[in-house]
Amino acid sequence: MYSRIYDSIKNQLQEILKDKHDITTELVWSKPHSSNLGDLSFPLFNVAKETSLTPQDIGKELIENFPMMSIIDRSELKGGFLNLFINQNEFAKIILSEIISLDKYGKSNLKEKKRIIVEHTSANPISPLHIGNIRNSILGDVIGRLYRFLGAKVNFRYYVNDLGRQIAPVIIGYFLLNNDGIKPDTKIDIWIGKIYALMNTFLEIYQIKSEFESLSLIPDIESSSYELSEAEIEYYQAKLDTSSVDQQQKERMLKQLLKLLRVQNSLKEKLSELYLQLKNLLVLNVEDLDDLANKYLVGYLAGEDKEMVDKFRKVTQNTLSGHTETLNLYNIYHDDFDWESEVSWGGEVGKILAQLDKKEFLRHDGQALLLENDKIASQLGFKEKYNINYEIPDLILVNSEGIALYPCRDIAYHLHKLEKFNANYCINVIGKDQQLAQLSVRTALYGLGEHEKADKILHYDYEIVTLVGGRMAGREFEYVTCDELFIMAKNEIETILENRDYSTEIKEDIAKKVSISSIRYSILKIDSQKIVTFDAKKAVDPNENTGPFLQYSYARALNILQKAPKKGIDADSIIQSVKQINFDIRKEIEWKMISLMEELPFVLKRALTQLKPDTVANYAFSLASVFHKFYDACPVLLAKDKDSLDTRIAIVYSFTKCLESLFEVMGIDTLEKM
């Protein structure tokens, strides 16, 4: 609960206590549950304890001494609490005048803007965005929007992870199809996502078969290297049983076989035509997919083979164009894209490793290099600073083949990321499972002597989104894409719109905006630390979602203001001269509206300092909910007299201003009608 007015009352009371008793205990106030306990309430127990007086005595003293302000009607002592009853009309005048006079209520316009980088989405650039990715995007987007609304200059960055091992097979598959004249039959990123799922499965099948081959287990069954049959599985299973392979490996291989069979069959069913085309092309053109994929990746990593670079870029750029299209549909925009490959080509990684090694922060194990997190953190004050009192595990930076892994490039990237935008802070929206990797980026920067930079980096972590059946797996084509989700939501909304008397264009606009708000809100409202189990039916049901509820409250409010002239009411001039209004609050729900609207700026500030965008969503819901109740209980245009009419018009208009601010932060579109 937040209130500037209540805070100032608190401060006055605090002054009295300081004068009389030299008290250090901080007074706190809260809004009582029931209106007959007043509008704000101070528990006096702690103060009583420090003065060794009773709460009653302290209360009496406070009542006797504080200057009666016009904002307070009366006071009451009850059960150790000092309860104050507010002059609600006075309060309304102050707050509503303020809301109405401001361009955007709750917005900060600082002259010297903080510069903030928000890195978000950074999805696998070989498959379309799915519901798991969009949680990242929406959280990142809203955090950035919050910063911007509260006066920061925000730079949205997308880090393109284009050096993953899983990418090379996709490139191979993409160009096999392309050269064979097979064209994409869907949106490009979805097309590439299909190739990814197929190629990855073909590769894994190839690999497990090679593994059996190396054990001299070769079934006498006609088959390709890229396909598994039931008969082969039976053969492998039987042979494994009698082989000398150790138990653990047996189990692993068997498990992998069964998984691959399941995935293969499911892909065969889902992507039947493409499955066959790609498999046949592989059989014809590629003898050893594993080897070829490695050659591709090595070629791209070096960055010198122009043709190879073009191939990788073509595919990943295509995917990204699909991502961008989807993100824009969801009201999400990036300013810059950073390529992991460019970090690699920059040659920074080698220097960083050398430097860390020189300072003896790397542990060698054969060719492998491990970052000694705990050593760095203990020696350089990192643990004290971040209050870590356990042993931080090492992180592997270079594998035993001497290949630098992802975290190396992440360290190099962060070394320059802040400079690229001259940022005060950098927020990385990255899943919770990356906790150690993200922590290691900062310890590594400490190890390099870049304390200041490390301290500017914040890992904003969030929990995964799971499907009802299990995790989402891009490799298995097991996901609901954001595009699909949007269509599903839109269809639901369109059935509601059927009996509305709007033009097709307007219906289309409403359906789009409501769908997006519905999805955005449903993700936003959940605490980032909670695992979301995604249920498509619920996600798409307008009755379950609050996005439409918010937009509807806005449309209703606007409708009142628009209808006013027809009833001979000049709403505009009432609003213009809000300071002249003789406020007359008659119902508790009117007071609730006003008291809740006062909290908005504080809700936003707190959401930012705590990085909890869900609190904005939940506040918006409370406000809209109170408005709907107000709407039913308090007819505005039929108000019985001028004072009541003016009061209610001011409330309705202020409410629209509140929602406009909240919508801007949440990335939800306003609608004039629904």
CB of 459 to RNA, least distance (A): 10
Tokens describing residue 336: 């810059």
Residue 463 sits in the site that holds RNA (CB under 7 A): yes
Tokens describing residue 73: 């009607």
CB of 125 to RNA, least distance (A): 10
Residue 556 sits in the site that holds RNA (CB under 7 A): yes
Q: Is 534 helix (H, G, I), strand (E, B) or coil?
A: strand
H or E stretch at 578: none
Residue 101 sits in the site that holds RNA (CB under 7 A): no
Write down the H helix ranges in 229-347.
Answer: 230-242, 247-270, 272-285, 289-302, 306-329, 340-345
- Number of Cβ atoms within 10 Å of the Cβ of 279: 19
Residue 391 sits in the site that holds RNA (CB under 7 A): yes
Stretch that binds RNA, among 401-409, 442-450, 578-586, 660-668 (CB under 7 A): 401-409
Q: Name the residue among 338, 332, 331, 285 with its Cα closest to residue 316.
A: 338
Stretch that binds RNA, among 235-243, 309-317, 553-561, 662-670 (CB under 7 A): 553-561
| Diameter over CA atoms, the chain | 99
Stretch that binds RNA, among 110-118, 212-220, 261-269, 489-497 (CB under 7 A): 489-497
Residue 606 sits in the site that holds RNA (CB under 7 A): yes
Nearer to RNA, 279 or 417 (CB): 417
Residue 49 sits in the site that holds RNA (CB under 7 A): yes
- The single-letter DSSP state of residue 357 is H
CB of 251 to RNA, least distance (A): 18
Size of the site for RNA (CB under 7 A): 95
Restricted to residues 421-450, the positions that interact with RNA (CB under 7 A) are 432-437
Nearer to RNA, 247 or 387 (CB): 387
Q: Is 453 helix (H, G, I), strand (E, B) or coil?
A: helix
Restricted to residues 157-216, the positions that interact with RNA (CB under 7 A) are 161, 163-166
Restricted to residues 315-354, the positions that interact with RNA (CB under 7 A) are 340
Candidates 416, 563, 579, 642: give the one binding RNA (CB under 7 A): 563
Stretch that binds RNA, among 103-111, 129-137, 246-254, 403-411 (CB under 7 A): 403-411
Task: Name the residue type at position 528.
Answer: S
Q: Which residues have a Cβ under 8 Å from the Cβ of 305 and sit 6 or more positions away?
A: 299
Candidates 63, 254, 283, 405: give the one binding RNA (CB under 7 A): 405
d(CA 478, CA 267) in angstroms, rounded, equals 10
d(CA 441, CA 314) in angstroms, rounded, equals 30
Residue 537 sits in the site that holds RNA (CB under 7 A): no
Residue 568 sits in the site that holds RNA (CB under 7 A): no
Restricted to residues 253-282, the positions that interact with RNA (CB under 7 A) are none
Residue 365 sits in the site that holds RNA (CB under 7 A): yes
CB of 172 to RNA, least distance (A): 17
Residue 400 sits in the site that holds RNA (CB under 7 A): yes
CB < 8 Å & 24+ apart, contacts of 324-329: 325/187, 326/128, 326/129, 326/189, 326/481, 326/482, 326/483, 327/121, 327/129, 327/137, 329/482, 329/483, 329/486, 329/516
- The single-letter DSSP state of residue 287 is S
Restricted to residues 500-519, the positions that interact with RNA (CB under 7 A) are 500, 510, 514
d(CA 50, CA 443) in angstroms, rounded, equals 44
Residue 475 sits in the site that holds RNA (CB under 7 A): no
Nearer to RNA, 255 or 579 (CB): 255
